[in-house]
Amino acid sequence: MDSNKGTPSRIFALSPIEAKEEIDEKLERSYTFLQSLISGVSEKEAHDALNAAVCKGAQVHDDICCGFLYGILIDPTNAARYYRDMTFIARDGLQHFINTLSLLILEKYPKLLDSCRSQLIWLIKELIKNSVPGVDNLCQSLLRQIAGGDVSPKNVWLTEAMLDIFIENSAWLAALPVLIATAVYTYLRLIVDHGSLPFLSLRQREVDFCISMLREKFTECIMIGRDLIRLLQNVARITEFDKLWRDLLFNPTSLSPTFTGVQQLLTQRTSRRFLQCRLTPDMERKITFLTSQVKFGNQKRYQEWFQRQYLSTPESQSLRCDLIRFICGVIHPSNELLCSDIIPRWAVIGWLLTTCTSNVAASNAKLALFYDWLFFSPDRDNIMNIEPAILVMYHSMRPHPAITATLLDFLCRIMSNFCKSLAAQVKQGIYTSLRQILEKRVLASLSPLFDNPKLDKELRTMIREQFAEFCSPVEGKVEETVPMPPGAMILDGNHNSVMNCESEAQFSEDEDDIPLGKLRSKDIKFQPIREPSKAEQMDISEHLNQLNGEIRKKILDLQKEKNSEVQCEIVEGLLQDILREEDFDQDTATSLGTCLAQILNSEFTRKLFPQELDDESIEESLGTPLFVIFRNLCQTPEEDPSRQAQLMLLWELGQHQPRLGYRLLYFLRASGSANSGNTSGYTSYRDYARSHNALSTCLLHDLKLCQEDDVRLFCYLVPEIYTQFPNVAIGNADILNLIVSCIDALQLQDLVCHILQGNMVMFRKDSFISILNASLEWETFEQFCLWQLIAAHNIPVDYVLPILPKLEFQAHAEALTSILLLLKQERPSMELLKHILCRDVKSNDLFVVSILKYWTQEHEVQLSELVGSLFTKSGSAAKRKRQPLAGKNQGPAPEQTLAHLDQLRQHCKQTSFFGQGAIQAALSQVQATSSEAQKTKYSDLFALADDAEDIKAPPSTPPKSSSSRGEGGKTSNAASSSQKAAASRGKAVLVDSDSSTESSEDEEAAKPKPPRKKKKTALVTSDSD
């Protein structure tokens, strides 16, 4: 230790009480020896001395290589020279150098100084340039040092540095299949951690890298096995991965000629190498020690240390899945260890599950636990992979029945919900797992678990339906019920966790039996430990010392006071002192804001929105010190100079408490700041937001946090957001997606009521199509909610039409179904017909034929005249040249219209529509001008016109005139009755006046029915054209 104080380490960051590392001393001695050979001499003399030295023996050779390594790490100026000289004198292909460097990375990387880390990355790049054997193993070791769930600057730096190496050396990487698979597995996992705003650029680079590797090197990536699918599921909503998923499911050979589909990957066990690579070597040592050295009952202090070290931040919750997969797939204790008193694996996993603070992470953790069950095969998989899950459920029946119930519920539901097309295979895999558990005597019987009388009747019924083979013949008596405690977690049909933000509930540590009775299984979930806010553990003594006078005194009083009313009075006085303070500068605001963030921390963790929404409960929710600050700001005129000081304080407070923004929005909404058209209150939020960032960015961020914390509060704010911030909110697809991704049927109903009452407008014409385009990537229920909101606005169908050509019948079923129902309420018009018939004709696309067939039943005559008019307008090329319609929809080509009519003919059993005079005339006209190929292709369609000609009456003028008059009368009556029918439906749909005018003009043009001989004259004109 004395020597350490005298000569501190030049490569490791050591505390004053730590002695120098052995490897540190060895490298330093080697560097000293190296300097004795090369310092103070010319370059040629140095080379001669080095060559003479390495010839003396292997030990000297190794010492010189270690000296060069040390020099490269501590001396960036001469690093290039050291590397060059080392390559000249090395006699073993740099193997000793590589081995020493590998030891340094695996064992000592966390202690390396930042400067040495930068040099290490530089060195790796140089080794890659020279294609030194073994450098790929160094890259794999460095990838292991990138910790999952860690967004600290050093970890992000290493993530970016390794990504740069792989992108810059793509040709080198392409020849290393194992490194490709490891890199893809690593960055697929890291993408989940980089979803927040500061890391969006990094995440996009990670996405691009993974997509590039998966598409170009998919054969190499297949070696990952089933966990590749698990990681791809976590990023499936990202646009690039959504497209990849479509290929995985529907076009697997586009990725690799030998790839047959996702089942091929799911049946392939993931190698230990990949499960191990997502834990840093230090984490692996700690978990291995816990499961091999610590006695059951003594584990608490080790677990608490591990929790503080690696699982204490919100981002770190995603690490639990990696830990569970590692424990299940890598840590396989011997029989001797299984029989000892060492803590078993299932207990460690139970601890990871019950201490989870994230809803999403808890749901993913269960999937990680059961993942090897889904496609388990005794020939390929190991019983040790599935043993922890069954034992967690079995041993939790008495102390923690909720854990057992929620895991059983998950197991039942995942059989049919994991993958619809592979439901039978998943069921077979789970059944095989259970049979192996019984066969290997992991449990002697599953009856105590599946017939547990504490389970509610609904869950027991589901278990009997799904696992009848493993249940006992006689069902036990169901015990009396107890109510589910408020604030419980619920598990939805997709196995996603949703918090019912009423109160915080925790698992009982009591060993007493707690009968669950009719406790609903879907209302059971791991209770989360509340995530600590950023200010929770902050030491404010230094900031307190920077405050003076009355401000410091009031902060100390506020810190000691526990009564909320007295706290409000103190804060009120504090604000008055701030307003009187002449030199209230940024430094003072920073210190004061930091102190308030710590003292008022409970304001940001407590439940804000009252359960019963009335004036009294809302007033009570606003009776805390934080809202005193808000109230003072809102009551201060904009021109008042003191307003700037309050905004500075609020900005500093928001730096430490990011949930301040949506609490300010709640105050403005709840206190009625916008009543009677008064928007000055919301000016306070605008000023606060602009001090952080752009208004749109800040508002979206605040709404995201609100939605994650309390969906009810979020829905309460939504109408006011659209009213007070129309330029930001209306037409904003991100905000709209936030809404539809979290609301339920009741909340959707509330929004529709607000819209119908005229309290809220969510769409405008100029951004409507962009919203529809964005919504095509949303979940089915989210799109359903969107179209319900569109229907509530009475959006004219004309706004929707431009998106029609790009919608695919199979891929965009939600949008096409909704548009189809909108069109069903409309009468056919020329504008509608042009957009509809512009869709490509596909045999499996029934959109156009469905709406046309419906219109033939409701508006047959009008539709026939519009189709005939469409053929007439498109039949004259000369007319199109004389009267160009720049910027307007030109309508479909004649052949495209023919194709749609031919498809309608194939689906239409009755042919009265094709017997209409307008259709007959149009088909005859088109037939006369068609090519031979077209006549052959549409011969069956044209035959309808020929058949009609054959059965016509003899060509005498009076009957034709009479017939024409009769048809005209029929048209008028039909149009009249159609209008009455549309009016009786009572739906107020906005219709564009242009389409109505054009439709009426078409009807007017169609009324005088020409005799047959004039129709033939028209055909001659058409021929000349």
Q: Is residue 332's pLDDT more than 90? A: yes
Q: Determine the pLDDT at residue 476.
A: 40
- Domain boundaries defined on the chain: 1-133, 136-278, 279-474+489-523, 541-729, 733-824, 852-879+890-1024
pLDDT band at 926 (very low <50, low <70, confident <90, very high): confident
E strand or H helix that includes residue 511: none
Q: Is residue 545's pLDDT more than 80? A: no
Q: Determine the pLDDT at residue 948.
A: 52
Tell me: the pLDDT tens digits for 558-616? 888 888 888 898 888 888 888 777 667 777 888 888 888 888 888 888 888 888 888 88
pLDDT band at 693 (very low <50, low <70, confident <90, very high): low
Query: How far is it, in rounded angstroms, from Cα 851 to Cα 900?
Result: 11
CB 33 within 8 A of CB 64: yes
883-887, 894-898, 970-974, 1018-1022 — which is least confidently predicted? 1018-1022
The structure tokens listed for 999 are: 């439709």
E strand or H helix that includes residue 498: strand 497-499
- Does 978 or 109 have the greater pLDDT score? 109
Cα-Cα-Cα-Cα dihedral sign, residues 481, 485, 489, 494? positive
CB 375 within 8 A of CB 267: yes
Chain mean pLDDT for the chain = 81
Query: What is the arithmetic mean of pLDDT over 634-648?
Result: 83
pLDDT band at 875 (very low <50, low <70, confident <90, very high): low
Provide CB contacts within 8 A for 742, sequence distance 6+.
707, 711, 714
pLDDT band at 721 (very low <50, low <70, confident <90, very high): very high
E strand or H helix that includes residue 379: none
Tally Cβ neighbours within 10 Å of residue 625.
22
Tell me: the pLDDT tens digits for 73-97? 999 999 999 999 999 988 888 999 9
Q: At what angle do helices 383-395 and 345-354 cross, to 10 degrees?
A: 60
- How far CA 49 is from CA of 34, 96, 897, in Å, comes to 10, 20, 88
Query: How far is it, in rounded angstroms, from Cα 724 to Cα 678?
Result: 10
pLDDT band at 225 (very low <50, low <70, confident <90, very high): very high
| Residue bearing tokens 């503080």 | 308
Q: Is residue 655's pLDDT more than 90? A: no
CB 603 within 8 A of CB 498: no
Tell me: the pLDDT tens digits for 114-125? 999 999 999 999
Q: Determine the pLDDT at residue 972.
A: 40
Query: How far is it, in rounded angstroms, from Cα 325 to Cα 276?
Result: 9
Cα-Cα-Cα-Cα dihedral sign, residues 853, 855, 857, 862? negative
Query: How far is it, in rounded angstroms, from Cα 541 to Cα 535?
Result: 13
Tell me: the pLDDT tens digits for 488-505? 333 333 333 333 333 333
Q: Is residue 1009's pLDDT more than 90? A: no
Tally Cβ neighbours within 10 Å of residue 335.
7
Considering only CA atoms, which of 234, 244, 237 is closest in space to residue 212? 244
- Would you give the DSSP letter of residue 469? G
pLDDT band at 207 (very low <50, low <70, confident <90, very high): very high
E strand or H helix that includes residue 491: strand 489-491
Q: Determine the pLDDT at residue 947.
A: 60
Q: Determine the pLDDT at residue 1014.
A: 37
Q: Determine the pLDDT at residue 114.
A: 93
pLDDT band at 384 (very low <50, low <70, confident <90, very high): very high
Q: Is residue 206's pLDDT more than 90? A: yes
H-only helix segments in 825-956:
830-837, 847-858, 860-874, 877-882, 894-907, 917-929, 932-937, 939-950
577 burial via Cβ count (<10 Å: 0-12, 13-18, 19+): middle
Task: Return the bridge partners of 491, or none.
Answer: 497
- How far CA 642 is from CA of 248, 580, 581, 587, in Å, comes to 60, 9, 10, 16
Query: What is the arithmetic mean of pLDDT over 781-787?
Result: 90
Considering only CA atoms, which of 815, 787, 788, 784 is closest in space to residue 802? 815
Judged by DSSP in three states, 55 sits in coil
Tell me: the pLDDT tens digits for 966-988? 344 444 444 444 444 334 443 33
Q: Is residue 771's pLDDT more than 80? A: yes
pLDDT band at 172 (very low <50, low <70, confident <90, very high): very high
880-889, 921-930, 1009-1018 — which is least confidently predicted? 1009-1018
- Does 484 or 379 have the greater pLDDT score? 379
Tally Cβ neighbours within 10 Å of residue 785.
25
Q: Is residue 681's pLDDT more than 70? A: no
Considering only CA atoms, which of 320, 318, 324 is closest in space to residue 234? 318
Task: Return the bridge partners of 499, or none.
Answer: 489
344-377 core/surface letters (b: 16 or more CB in 10 A; e: else):
bbbbbbbbbbbbbbbbebbbbbbbbbbbbbbbbe
- Does 280 or 984 have the greater pLDDT score? 280
Q: At what angle do helices 830-837 and 847-858 cross, to 10 degrees?
A: 150
- How far CA 778 is from CA of 231, 736, 741, 757, in Å, comes to 20, 11, 8, 28
Q: Is residue 1025's pLDDT more than 70? A: no
pLDDT band at 538 (very low <50, low <70, confident <90, very high): low
Q: Determine the pLDDT at residue 910.
A: 67
Q: Is residue 840's pLDDT more than 80? A: yes
Query: How far is it, in rounded angstroms, from Cα 965 to Cα 971?
Result: 10
Helices and strands (DSSP H and E) totals, the chain: 58, 2
Tell me: the pLDDT tens digits for 740-758? 988 888 889 999 999 999 8
Tell me: the pLDDT tens digits for 230-263? 999 999 999 999 999 999 999 999 999 999 999 9
Q: Determine the pLDDT at residue 911.
A: 64
Tell me: the pLDDT tens digits for 176-191? 999 999 999 999 999 9
pTM: 0.51
pLDDT band at 4 (very low <50, low <70, confident <90, very high): very low
Query: How far is it, in rounded angstroms, from Cα 554 to Cα 943?
Result: 95
The structure tokens listed for 813 are: 């079923």
Query: What is the arithmetic mean of pLDDT over 425-454?
Result: 90
